[in-house]
């Protein structure tokens, strides 16, 4: 081999670009254990501080992608499109969106993750459905996609192993916040799905990984660039995450709200994002009909039917999707009232997400479990008028001590003022091949 | 504990100073294995790229120093002064200097290292003396210092264990070139010797770790600052390392040249540095007499007698110091002639050091051994006039294939030109408490 790990680390440390064959060797050698964690940790920190250019990033992403199995769905005759969100609070959009798009004739081979910190994860939410088992092997994944045009599953351990290793390492070495490393992690996983098109929902605001719009725009442009250079048409929408999406936060709570959307009576913001994302995914799939087609597919019941169908295929009990009151609910219930009269000017996503996690709806460490029946129902969101004593939020939880520890922090998420707030739109910006 | 490793890494990544108790915890936890190599590797890279301020560096150095045993020589009634060189080619100065100073009544508890890459190491050179055993425990170290005012030994494994671990890690993670990390590594070892004064020889030029004067000056200032803030009067001299010191490079070769200095007929540059360093060390010890005293101590034979004395105490055979023709010499001998007439304008230390190493006089990896009888004798140095065909260098070596591989590279170390070169002084600058 023409390179040693130290030589490559030194190049990046000194601000030089890494050669393509060097990156390919490094990722392969890290995956098979030839390059130890401590060398990759030094490299990751050098990348956090000195960056990577678009060419390096493309090679790095492809090397990660090629570190394991890649799905070949070329025998499936439909357009294959997926959506990825950078993560937020109350962000259940994938759950109504994926079956809606699949019911329109687009194949959606969606691999999702679990929640960590203040953000929830699609797999945790789906596991609120009794029996739902998202850990399937590649063979079963292909069978379900072929039969239903849709799968909602976890990533197999044989896919993108370099990312699985590197992600854990970054988490314990302070090397998470790097646009190239975040982009290559996300894009290597998504590009391993054998897609024709990809929609990226890049969150911005208090509850997002990227708190400010500039950072979110950088991340969106970088990822769209990686996707398009890899031959997958990619569009990013930058969306607001200053407050949670919808009224429900927590696993069973969010399944209920997702079903509401597919029954045509979801909250306005969740419904709007589902339809707006759906329009872009139909466009990426080259399928016409737009919003009207999506609304008809919901109204006809075929989107909800598709969710039940894939739930059954993955071992879950679709009865809870028919009657969401059958979903698990935690034992205790408390309501926090508004301390005053006025307009809600702040309903802070990070604060609410952390409180939900600490009540048991999420996990602070990867190895923790989640309590599917724990959740929050937000009664007042930004712009709403509230009177003193009216409910701001209802919490359901299983541990009274945890509630005592969280209630004041949770209450601090809301600000009530005399004047109505200045708001920003739900969808802030679109980044596509014309804007990278 | 108030900190996690990730929190501390994140601070340094973001360009913030590390809190004192955080540094102390980190070094202790790294030494005992609580903090794994991969976290320290990320921290080391963040330090390489974002630096440390003087306060952090002082705490870091002291934490390293306190990671193991510290010598307490307070029962020895003489002033205790040591010298450290950042390493060069043909740099045998410690070998005549330490016994010379000890013979003047200064205690010199010198712990030295081994050669690596193109630079030689004092311990390797001393081991050319049959029987010389520099690996001694602390008890024996103290006995020898007390009896002879001098010891020339390796560092015990119980001293500065944090540095021993971190040094190996830096070597394999591209995190060597950092002035704070280099300074704390050197100074933690030297400050563990219980000194009153310390002379630092900071090399600059092709054969030095720091190739340019600005870098060398930064390093010198940083180390002098650490020493003085720790209560050890420290002076640095920045000295030239564009060409090797003296005429001899290699282990037995350099012992011979060291003995020449103590017999009063060493080469001018080695003699001059020995005396100039000796003057500063006497000054640091608060002992008068200066250069005259040093010259008398050489002329009286007591400096050479001191080297024989400590050699005997460390198991070595002083007979080879009486008659250096008894030192080991490798089997084969070749001479490279000058390709033309003129002035030597370049006699490149790095090229010569690498050739000597590859012939067997040094080691490329820590686990390699060295061949004490391999060496180079330089007949023409910068400023010398040579005629075509006159010898530039004589090599003695044990492996003809290695010689064939090195001879052209070695020859390329010399440039011969019509005009005499512009030269710089041997001692370029002094850095002390007035200049940090």
Residue B1's pLDDT is what? 55
Tally Cβ neighbours within 10 Å of residue B188. Answer: 27
| Mutate which: B168, B174, B175, vs A, most A CBs within 10 A | B174
Considering only alpha carbons, which residue of chain B is nearest residue A45?
A: B42
Note the pTM of the prediction, 2 decimals: 0.88
Q: Which of A118, A142, A165, A189 is catalytic?
A: A189
Is the per-residue pLDDT at B60 higher than 60?
yes
DSSP state of B360: I
Is the per-residue pLDDT at B207 higher than 90?
yes
In tens, the pLDDT along B366-386 reads 788 899 999 999 999 999 999
Q: Which of B85, B94, B185, B216 is catalytic?
A: B185
In tens, the pLDDT along A61-85 reads 999 999 999 988 989 999 999 999 9
Q: How far apart are CA A229 and CA A196, in angstroms?
A: 13
Q: Which residues of A touch B (CB under 8 A)?
A: 5-6, 9-10, 13, 36-42, 44-46, 48-50, 169, 172-175
Interface touch B13/A169, C-beta < 8 Å: no
Q: ∠A243-A245-A249 over CA atoms, to 5°?
A: 95
* Percent of chain B whose pLDDT exceeds 70: 100
Interface touch A173/B10, C-beta < 8 Å: no
Is the per-residue pLDDT at A48 higher than 80?
yes
**Which of B5, B13, B41 is opposite residue A38, by nearest beta carbon?**
B41
Is the per-residue pLDDT at B2 higher than 80?
no
Decide if A76 contacts A107 (C-beta within 8 A).
yes
Interface touch B42/A173, C-beta < 8 Å: yes
Residue B385's pLDDT is what? 97
Average pLDDT over residues A234-259: 98
Decide if B222 contacts B233 (C-beta within 8 A).
no
CB neighbour burial string for B108-142, b if at least 16 within 10 angstroms, e if fewer: bbbbbbbbbebbbbbbbbbbbbeebebebeeebbb
Looking up tokens 């000796």, which residue turns up?
A: B278
Looking up tokens 């010891």, which residue turns up?
A: B151
Q: Which of B189, B247, B358, B372 is catalytic?
A: B189
In tens, the pLDDT along B109-141 reads 999 888 878 888 999 999 999 999 999 998 999
ipTM (interface predicted TM): 0.86
Please give the C-alpha separations between residue B153 and each of B112, B134, B149, B308, B320, in angstroms, as whole numbers: 6, 4, 13, 14, 19
Average pLDDT over residues A222-227: 97
Residue B365's pLDDT is what? 80
Is the per-residue pLDDT at A1 higher than 70?
no
In tens, the pLDDT along B39-54 reads 999 999 999 999 999 9
In tens, the pLDDT along A265-318 reads 999 999 999 999 999 999 999 998 999 999 999 999 999 999 999 999 999 999
In tens, the pLDDT along A120-140 reads 899 999 999 999 999 999 899
Residue A292's pLDDT is what? 97
Q: Which residues of B touch A (CB under 8 A)?
A: 5-6, 9-10, 13, 36-42, 44-46, 48-50, 169, 172-175
- Which of the four pLDDT bands, split at 50, 70 and 90, describes residue B428? very high
> Annotated catalytic, A165?
no
> Annotated catalytic, A185?
yes
Please give the C-alpha separations between residue B115 and each of A105, B88, B364, in angstroms, as whole numbers: 70, 10, 9
> Annotated catalytic, B379?
no
> Annotated catalytic, A118?
no
Decide if B221 contacts B183 (C-beta within 8 A).
no
Decide if A97 contacts A257 (C-beta within 8 A).
no
> Annotated catalytic, A170?
yes
Q: Between helices B54-65 and B179-191, what is the axis angle to 10°?
A: 40
Q: How far is B47 from chain A (nearest CA, A)?
A: 10
Query: Which pair of structure tokens corresponds to residue B219?
Result: 């390093």
In tens, the pLDDT along A154-203 reads 988 888 999 999 998 998 999 998 999 999 999 999 999 989 999 999 99
């Amino acid at each position: 081999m023409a390179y040693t790990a130290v030589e490559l680390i030194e190049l990046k440390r000194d601000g030089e670009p890494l050669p393509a064959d060097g990156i390919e060797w490094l990722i392969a050698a890290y995956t098979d254990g030839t390059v130890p964690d401590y060398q990759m940790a030094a490299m990751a920190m050098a990348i956090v501080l000195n960056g990577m250019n678009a060419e390096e990033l493309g090679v790095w992403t492809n090397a990660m992608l090629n570190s394991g199995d890649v799905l070949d769905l070329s025998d499936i005759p439909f357009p294959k499109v997926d959506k990825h969100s950078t993560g937020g609070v109350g962000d259940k959009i994938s759950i109504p969106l994926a079956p809606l798009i699949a019911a329109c004739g687009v194949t959606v081979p969606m691999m999702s993750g679990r929640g960590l910190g203040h953000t929830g994860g699609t797999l945790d939410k789906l596991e609120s459905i009794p029996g739902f088992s998202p850990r399937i092997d590649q063979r079963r994944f292909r069978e379900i996609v072929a039969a239903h045009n849709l799968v909602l599953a976890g990533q197999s351990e044989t896919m993108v192993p370099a990312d699985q290793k590197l992600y854990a390492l970054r988490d314990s070495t302070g090397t998470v916040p790097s646009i190239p490393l975040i982009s290559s992690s996300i894009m290597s996983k998504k590009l391993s799905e054998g897609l024709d098109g990809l929609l990226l929902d890049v969150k911005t605001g208090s509850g997002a990984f990227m708190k400010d719009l500039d950072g979110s725009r950088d991340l969106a442009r970088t990822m769209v660039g990686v996707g398009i250079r890899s031959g997958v048409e990619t569009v990013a929408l930058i969306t607001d995450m200053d407050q949670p999406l919808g009224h429900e936060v927590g696993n069973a709570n969010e399944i209920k709200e997702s079903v509401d959307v597919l029954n045509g009576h979801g909250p306005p913001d969740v419904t709007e994002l589902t339809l707006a994302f759906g329009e872009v995914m139909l466009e990426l799939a080259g399928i016409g009909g737009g919003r009207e087609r999506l609304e008809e597919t919901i109204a006809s019941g075929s989107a909800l039917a598709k969710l039940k169908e894939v739930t059954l295929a993955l071992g879950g009990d679709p009865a809870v999707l028919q009657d969401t009151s059958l979903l698990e609910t935690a034992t205790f219930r408390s309501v926090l009232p508004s301390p005053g009269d006025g307009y809600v000017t702040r309903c802070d996503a990070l604060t609410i997400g952390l409180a939900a996690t600490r009540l048991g709806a999420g996990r602070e460490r990867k190895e923790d479990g989640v309590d599917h029946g724990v959740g929050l129902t937000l009664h007042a969101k930004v712009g709403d008028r509230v009177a003193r004593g009216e409910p701001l939020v209802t919490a359901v939880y299983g541990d009274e001590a945890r509630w005592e520890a969280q209630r004041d922090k949770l209450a601090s998420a809301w600000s009530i003022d005399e004047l109505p707030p200045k708001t920003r739109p739900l969808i802030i910006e679109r980044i596509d091949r014309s804007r990278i």
